[in-house]
Structure 1
Amino acid sequence: MTRGAPDRASSKGRTGFPAIRIFAAAGLVGALAACRGEPGPLSLQADARNPVSVLQRVNQAGAECWMRSSDPDFRDLRLVPELDTSAGRPRLLVLEKGNTSGLPVMVIEASGSPVTIETYGPLAGTRTGARVNDDIARWSGGHVSCS
């Protein structure tokens, strides 16, 4: 090897290993994030016989913990209950505050016995939707605290 020439073997080693470390670190961060709920639709069975009573509990806790809180994730949203079962499945609609006649950004729906709760809509695929799903899972099990 001549003086001043780069050592190709050590150069390859230095560029390869940091990339592996970066991918390993990214995998670890992804695995830790998976411990919390991931964004996407929710479908879960609640230990309850009545869909309306489960959604009433979710509505009360959601109003307190999401809508009346100073949380910026929910500042521009509102929760509208549609619990009249003669009109179909009971559900809660999450709407944008300024868009009174628009489509909901998320629907929280319950049906069956035992009760199955489902969420869907564009908000479900976001970080806020994952928080909503985590809260619904907790509240449907009887825990009504905000955290």
Structure 2
Amino acid sequence: MISGAACFAGLALMAGCQASPTPTAPSSGGKSAALRNMEQVATAAHRCWFASKDATFSDYSFANELNSFSGRPRFLLVPRGDYGGRPLLVVQAEGAAGTVTSFGPLMDGPSAARISADIRRWSAGGTDCAGTA
């Protein structure tokens, strides 16, 4: 018959033989790539287009929808003061890579090239506003 002390010692030895846990990469706080990318793009868009009082965007309001359960965090530009209005620009990210896309009537207008360049720069990690380095 095995004594309790011998059994305990055997379990302790077996526990010591187990592989140690593998280190994991630093956590991103549980955020998806899409959310991380959209946070960066939305922050830059708000700072460069709205907080700076850029005249190009004075007729629009910024509607943040980063807390999306669809897996596509986004922000919208809507007519100024009409947050429930038809979006004139939708900027969203999706997929494992967090690919940022934009669409809406503003992408067919005179500001389309600038909007595209800004979004492309911000989604690549840039933080500067248009025309600055």
Q: Which residue of 2 aligns with 1:93?
A: 76
Q: Which residue of 1 aligns with 2:117?
A: 134
Question: Tell me, which stretches of 5 or more residues in structure 1 are unaligned?
Answer: 1-48
Of 58, 83, 96 in structure 2, the residue corresponding to residue 113 of structure 1 is 96
**Letter in structure 2 aligned against 1:113:** A
Q: Secondary structure at the match of 2:83?
A: coil
Q: What is the CA–CA distance in structure 2 between the aligned matches of 1:115 and 1:100, rounded to whole Å? A: 25
Q: How far off is 1:128 after superposition?
A: 1.5
- 121-130 vs 52-61, which deviates more? 121-130
1:71 counterpart = 2:54: yes
Structure 1's consecutive aligned runs of 4 or more residues displaced over 3 angstroms after TM superposition are none
Identity across matched positions, percent: 34
**Letter in structure 1 aligned against 2:55:** P
**Letter in structure 2 aligned against 1:70:** K
Q: State which structure, 1 or 2, has the greater radius of gyration over its C-alpha atoms.
A: 2
Within 5 A, what are the aligned runs for 1:47-66? 50-66=33-49
- What RMSD in Å do the two structures reach over aligned CA positions? 1.5
**Letter in structure 2 aligned against 1:69:** S
Q: Which residue of 1 aligns with 2:63?
A: 80
Q: What is the CA–CA distance in structure 2 between the aligned matches of 1:83 and 1:98, rounded to whole Å? A: 19
1:103 counterpart = 2:86: yes
Question: Tell me, which stretches of 5 or more residues in structure 2 are unaligned?
Answer: 1-31
**Letter in structure 1 aligned against 2:89:** M
Q: How far off is 1:87 after superposition?
A: 4.4
Q: How far off is 1:68 after superposition?
A: 1.5
Decide which structure has greater helix share. 1
